Amino acid sequence: MFQYDFEGRYDLVRFIKTIQKAGLYAHLCIGYVCAEWNFGGFPVWLKYVPGISFRTDNEPLKRAMQGFIEKIVGLMKSEYLFESQGGPIILSQIENEYRVQSKLFGAAGYNYMSWAANMAVKMDTGVPWVMCKEDDAPDPVINTCNGLYYDAFTPNKPYKPKSWTEAWSGWYVCLIHQRPVQDVADVAQFIQRGGSFINYYMYHGGTNFGHSARGPFITTSYDYDAPIDEYALIGQPKYGHLKELHRAIKMCERALVSADPIVTSLGSLQQTYVYTSEKGDCASFLSNYDTKSAGRVFFNNMHYNLPPWSIDILSDCRNVVLNTAKVGVQTSQLEMLPTYSDMLSWESYDEHISSLDDSLTLISNGLLEQINVTRDMSDYLWYITSVDIGSSESFLHTVLIHVPAPYI
């Protein structure tokens, strides 16, 4: 039998209310979420429900999943936290990056995706539901994108808003190096092409504690070059340059929400996107897609010089308020210094190591799947073996054990 735990750092209501107090909006991703957690947020005990199969058209899974979604949505409704109730939650998300998984399951995957979408919509939250990386998301669920570059993304229906639920501000050090802020500012291309929602992943770093960190070579530190790191320290120039980018986009707000853009070629690799309103507002984006050479363009009877792979944002269709490649913020240099041990408080414990006569000992002729055995209660699964040496054999000096890479 399970029970919900909303105490301490699991206090979701308090977290959403803190967002509201800060004047921010919330995009609530309920599940399945991945999020570099063990089992993507599924509790380990769910693995042992008879007949269960994850993320497919499976009745035991759907019963558990619907119960969880109902619990979270009910909790948010009871505290008036959806935007339709005056709260900060403007979007809710069901499932996460299911497109590849869906194709692996075939018809069962499509049925599960459709069921999850319809089940979520019936919760009647008063705010839109989204599915990221799911091209087949049924109406009224909005399909969105995740990744590094998605300016060319379009939703599966023309009346759905163009939304980017994970604009990666960086990524794991083991996979890529730091992402330059000029490259992150490429989100301006998404805006100029009609993008209406961008969520950075991550903007403020954090920490995965205990067994919540998963994946190859992933540490508990989870900010990977975010504008604000897990200690709430500002990372410059990324934080400052993005702040200026957001300010520039905000200055174009009235024109951006009034109509679709008029797109005009200014050269072989240069374009302009012009937004106007009936009240006379005008905003334009002058884009240079050439990654190596600067471009000189003529627009509105004026010349503009565009650095390689950059965008000029003109909040009044004349004056440049920002160029994405020109960073006016000084780079911050963080220096790691030693601290005093008396400022720290450490705790440790001894974990039981089994012996051959232990009641917890299992006998196996091969390697075991660790979580199946430990139920995620320990980081360790100890293997004990014995070797018999006959009286006629020479003394044993070395034992060589070969473990295939997939089991490590």
- Residues assigned a catalytic role: 97, 166
Extract the tokens encoding 378. Answer: 């320990």
Query: Which one, of 253, 236, 297, 245, lies nearest residue 271 by Cα?
Result: 297
Phi, psi angle pair for 73, to nearest 5°: -60, -45
Q: How far apart are CA 52 and CA 42, in angstroms?
A: 12
Q: How far apart are CA 371 and CA 246, in angstroms?
A: 44
For the stretch 73-84, what's the b/e string if a residue is b when 16 or more beta carbons lie within 10 angstroms of its beta carbon? Answer: beebbeeebbbe
Extract the tokens encoding 293. Answer: 């050479």
Q: How far apart are CA 344 and CA 41, in angstroms?
A: 31
What is the distance in angstroms between the CA of the first residue and the CA of the last residue of the chain?
32
Q: How many CB atoms lie within 10 A of CB 120?
A: 21
Contacts of 213 (CB under 8 A, 6+ apart): 36, 37, 219, 220, 222
Name residue 400's amino acid.
L
Helices 107-121, 59-78: axis angle to 10 degrees equals 20
Strands (E), 58-149: 89-94, 129-132, 142-147
Contacts of 54 (CB under 8 A, 6+ apart): 39, 42, 46, 61
Strands (E), 277-326: 282-288, 295-299, 302-306, 310-314, 320-323
Cα 159–chain centre separation? 25
Q: Give the ranges where 317-369 is alpha helix by DSSP (H).
A: none
12 burial class (0-12, 13-18, 19+ CB within 10 angstroms)? middle
